[in-house]
Amino acid sequence: MNTQEFLDFAEAQCRVHGTRLTTIRRQVLEHIAEQPGYSKAYDVLEALRPETASLTPPTIYRALEFLEAEGFVHRLEVVNGYVACQQHDHAHETLFIICPCCGKVAEAKGDKYAYFFKDILGENGFGAVPQHLEVKAYCNECQATGATCVHENMASSHRHQHDH
């Protein structure tokens, strides 16, 4: 689904739910949907400020909360960022794989990991499998090129050898 189709889908879902995709919410969603990886709230704020000079952090956070509640974006706790939902069937566990160098994010249905973790959790005295799991792993491109990490909150700025 391209960005325009995703925005149209979001508009339609809002109508079904009796909510509104306001101009600001739409701009925030569009910005996040166009990113190859995750976006932090202040990245969104800086990107949208030229269009809407009066934007403030609380406005962005309210928009992100709405978009997350509607299922259009996911908050990635490990990086304190947001990514557009790539799979609109939320009746499943989701595994997010985040590259600590380039910030690329893959969203995968977690049916396989759910079975795996159910056993591990049970063996250690825990119950329910989380609906949302985040894993850091170097993407193939960063491994192949030995790319310099640019996401300072996940990795230092030195060059990784990727011989982990």
Annotated binding-site residues for Zn(2+) read 99, 102, 139, 142
Q: Cα–Cα distance between 95 and 135 in angstroms, integer?
A: 7
Q: Cα–Cα distance between 17 and 75 in angstroms, integer?
A: 21
Question: Annotated binding residues, as ranges?
Answer: 99, 102, 139, 142
**Which secondary structure element, helix H or strand E, spans residue 95, and what is its range?**
strand 94-98
| Strand 81-84 with 73-76, pairing | antiparallel
| Residue whose structure tokens are 């790539």 | 86
Q: Which residues neighbour 71 within 8 Å (Cβ) at sequence distance 6 or greater?
A: 13, 85, 88, 90
| Residue whose structure tokens are 């962005």 | 60
Question: Which tokens sit at 2?
Answer: 């391209």
